Structure 1
Amino acid sequence: MTPKTPTIARIWRGRTLPEKADAYESYNYEAGIKPLIDKALGVQTFREDTPTHSEFMTISYWESVEAMAAFTGGDPESIHHLDRDKEFLIELPMSVQVLRIRSSHGTVGPQDGGKIGDV
């Protein structure tokens, strides 16, 4: 079987207060990322810590807009807030970004599919 090639990247961003960042990262992984891993062709998560907030970004990769729409239940740009997002996030994101992948070079991320330790 030939591996599917991602042609679409779906990017979600959210911000939390620094003191909630570690708890949100764990919650987001369990409630949001794990289900996504089973559906998307690939998933990357990012975190940037600043003195005033921590920003999280999730990029999921999809074979097509149709495949992404099947996961989201219709509109691929619609937001699906997690049950506890209101508790953690500074504001609830109102949109996601959907981009067509034009080129990709090299291999990125942990090769074992696991989490990267603290830097």
Structure 2
Amino acid sequence: MYSLTVVDHIMVAHSFRGAEFGPAQRLHGATFVVEAEFRAATIDHLHLLIDIGLAKDELRKILAAMDYRNLDAEPEFAGKNTTTEYLAFHIHGLLAAACRDGRMGPGAGQVHGIKVLLRESHIAWAAFEGPVA
């Protein structure tokens, strides 16, 4: 199994609904280091899993839509608690679509799984891992 990981970060503001969240129900900021790991059983004739430059660019485009934003005010997150787990799931879906649509080059067609990990701090993180299809 081969894997290739690219990393970026975002800073967001958000709040959560539900007494379970305690003080996080109030608007607060979060900084996430975002790791996107692409997995494939094979590499191509150039010995590449996926074009690292295109993967970095696509991750940046996805994150730019959230960076320095209040996620509570973004229509795509209306009615959702933008927890670390949910954001990992959301980013995974967008990266998987980019692979399927060919936005990350021909090598993306061999990617069968993506793991998106968001590090909220040095002691807490969450991830979502799933297929591209």
TM-score range, shorter chain: 0.3 to 0.5
Q: TM-score, normalised by structure 2?
A: 0.33
Structure with the larger RCO, 1 or 2 (CA within 8 Å, 6+ apart): 1
Question: Which structure shows the bigger proportion of residues in strand conformation?
Answer: 2
Question: Which structure shows the bigger proportion of residues in helix conformation?
Answer: 2
